[in-house]
Chain A
Amino acid sequence: MANRHALGKKLAILGLISFVIVAAVVESASQLSKRKTDAEIHARVQTDTFRLLETIRDRLLQRVRAAPGLPARAIANANDWLAPFLASTVIENETYVYAMVVSHSGTIVAHSDGTQINTQVPEHIREQITVARGRKRWASELDAWFGDDRIVNYALPVMVDGALVATAHIGVSVPALDQQKADERWEARRMFWLAATACMLVVATGCGIAWLMITRARRTDEAEARRNHLAEVGKLAGGLVHEIRNPLNAMRMQIAVMRGKLKRLPGEESEAAAHQLSRLESEVLRLQDLAASFLAYGRPPTDKLQELDAAEILGDVADFLQAEFEQRGLAIKLEIDPQVNGATMVMDRGKLRQVLLNLADNALHAMSEGGTLTLGVTREASGPLSFTVKDTGRGIPKDRLASVFDAFFSMKDDGNGLGLSIVKQIVESSGGTIRVQSEIGCGTCFTLCFPTTTKAQRRELRIVTPAQPSEVTA
């Protein structure tokens, strides 16, 4: 068990470490390739943007060629027919902030945002135009500010017959671009993280289940260890009690010898001494009794099962108790319900007698000032048999009622407290149940329920018990 636990822990730690390593690898790979991916994205953005700019330029050139005369004029009204295209360009791509066409003098002649028409471009863009003019055929990028955002302004010169007529610009938002870059990078890793999270969940669930099972197993182990320990202690106690019996026996013998010697001595003192000796003997007897009870409590039942007639056994017990009860001025009543009608149960006869006699003995002690013991048996429909042992004695207080079957619980001054726990053990190991009801001053009633004989039990008994003479003659 401990091995499994340790192994589980090692596996879990191993799993965790490997996950961390893999994640680190993936992340660092992503970081390392950041430059490459960023460069790729950058290049792509460039290509796309310049392609768009070329489209704008081509359209402009188209118009210029189509309309002879000053190209400037053709361009001046560019917004009318270019604005939709510019607007759609910006809308379609979220990294684009604006798309415009600027005349060689710096006036915006077309803009994706209509409000900017006929305004002057900012200083830095004009500079860019100047630079572009110088470079004539090369497009350029310019890092600039657009409001609060950083942008890159892509510009493409529109040349007619070697002269700069206008420039087309598209502004790309740097943060948006960065976001796009990040998104692209994330796309690559998304699959990995999805898979990883799924794995982690599975592993975590697995670990959780394993942990639960281990703790449950450990608890069962602990419970078993406790049970074993108790069994050990019980065995030790049994062994001890067993060892005690011999010395107790020796003590009784010696006491008998002493009694004999005292009898032969004359005088009153020897009588007093003899009296003391009796007291000593009764203590020894009490210990012997306790030892016997204790060992009976611990002994596994070796039952001699018989089919017992409920009414008959009750009558037998009542007869047995008759003399003793009469001697103490107590009455015994027998109540056999007609519904019982010869119903039988399977149990060791001696043990059932022991149970009933034990309960009767308790009743006897409870009715120290007279009373009636009622022994009854009833049966509901074709249900179990119910034996009742009722007395009109002093009763058991409600707060002690629950613990009345506990071992070493006794209401008597000299009781050893094992009687009722043995009774309960016998009843329950024979497949029955026992209940108690009591009221102070009124009396106590013990109810024992046993199932009646089943066909299977009857068959089994017939196999085990040899045929009785009566059966043969029949």
Chain B
Amino acid sequence: MRAPGPDPRRPWRVTTRNEPIAHEVVEMATDTVLIVDDDRSFVEALATFLEDNGYRPLRAVNGCDGREVLRQGEADLAIVDVHMPDLDGVDLLVEASCLARPVPVIMISSDDGKETVNRCHGAGAVMFMAKPITPDELLEAIPRAIERRAS
């Protein structure tokens, strides 16, 4: 006599179906990258490049816009220029790490002096890259940065 309910030794149920299993399109979650720099063409170029390589770029051409977009919470990673006229990149970095879901930030700058690098690392930047940025370098860095946040 079979007991009612699921069998405790085999809690799962095996069902057979005759319909073919449809192809499941696995949609990978695309990582959203926020780019903040006061040089518009640079932002555009980075955005195009990232888009071409499967990321979803968000553009911000000044610190304030960048802050707005960060607060919307869609970014998985932010690439922020240190020296911006209206808002210091490091302030943005601090904000990013204080969000409910903290966003890893790669700081970029043409100034690769010790103080700048130390300031960025001290404020919690995941990485510092000196301009000019090689395309390959960037492609390698992004997944590493996103991983670091996750860990």
Using a CB–CB cutoff of 8 Å, the interface residues on chain A facing chain B are 242, 245-254, 256-257, 260-261, 288
Contacts and interface: CB of A to CB of B under 8 A. Distances in A.
Given A247-B41, A256-B52, A288-B132, 4 more contacts: A245-B110, A246-B39, A251-B45, A252-B135
22 contacts: A245-B132, A246-B110, A247-B42, A248-B132, A249-B42, A249-B132, A249-B133, A250-B41, A251-B45, A252-B132, A252-B134, A252-B135, A253-B46, A253-B49, A253-B133, A253-B135, A254-B45, A254-B48, A256-B52, A257-B45, A260-B52, A261-B52
Nearest to A302: B113
Contacts of B48: 253-254, 257
Contacts of B39: 246, 250
B45 A249 contact: yes
B44 interface: yes
Task: From B49, B132, B135, name the one whose CB has the most chain A CB atoms within 10 angstroms.
Answer: B132
Nearest to A264: B52
Contacts, number: 47
B148 interface: no
B39 to A, nearest CB: 5
Tell me the dominant secondary structure on chain B's binding face: helix
Contacts of B41: 246-247, 250
A254 B51 CA distance: 11
B151 interface: no
Contacts of A248: 132
B53 interface: yes
Contacts of B49: 253-254, 256-257
B71 interface: no
Contact of A250 (B45, B52, B53, B134): B45
Contact of B45 (A242, A253, A260, A261): A253
Contacts of B45: 249-251, 253-254, 257
A359 B48 CA distance: 40
Interface residues of B, number: 16
A253 B47 CA distance: 9
A254 B41 CA distance: 10
Most buried by B among A252, A256, A260: A256
Nearest to A252: B135
Task: Identify which of A249, A251, A254 gathers the most chain B CB atoms within 10 Å of its CB.
Answer: A249
- Of the listed residues B44, B48, B133, the one surrounded by the most CB atoms of chain A closer than 10 A to its CB is B48
A425 to B, nearest CB: 19
Contact of B44 (A242, A250, A256, A288): A250
Interface in B93-151: 110, 131-135
B1 to A, nearest CB: 65
Nearest to B133: A249
Nearest to A284: B132
B142 to A, nearest CB: 13
Contacts of A260: 52-53
Contact of B131 (A245, A251, A254, A261): A245
Contacts of A246: 39, 41-42, 110, 131
A252 B45 CA distance: 8
Nearest to A288: B132
Nearest to A249: B132
A249 B44 contact: no
**Which of B52, B53, B133 has the most CB atoms of chain A within a 10 A radius of its CB?**
B52
A256 B47 CA distance: 12
B47 to A, nearest CB: 9
A261 B53 CA distance: 10
A263 to B, nearest CB: 11
Interface in B25-57: 39, 41-42, 44-46, 48-49, 52-53
Contacts of A252: 132, 134-135
Contact of B110 (A242, A256, A257, A261): A242
Given A250-B45, A261-B52, A256 B135 contact: yes
Contacts of A245: 110, 131-132
A242 B45 CA distance: 18
A365 to B, nearest CB: 24
A281 to B, nearest CB: 10
Nearest to B108: A249
Q: Which of A246, A251, A253, A256 has the most CB of B within 10 A?
A: A253
4 closest pairs, A vs B, by CB? A250-B45, A256-B135, A253-B45, A249-B132
Contacts of A250: 39, 41-42, 44-46
Contacts of A254: 45, 48-49
Contacts of A251: 45
A246 B131 CA distance: 8
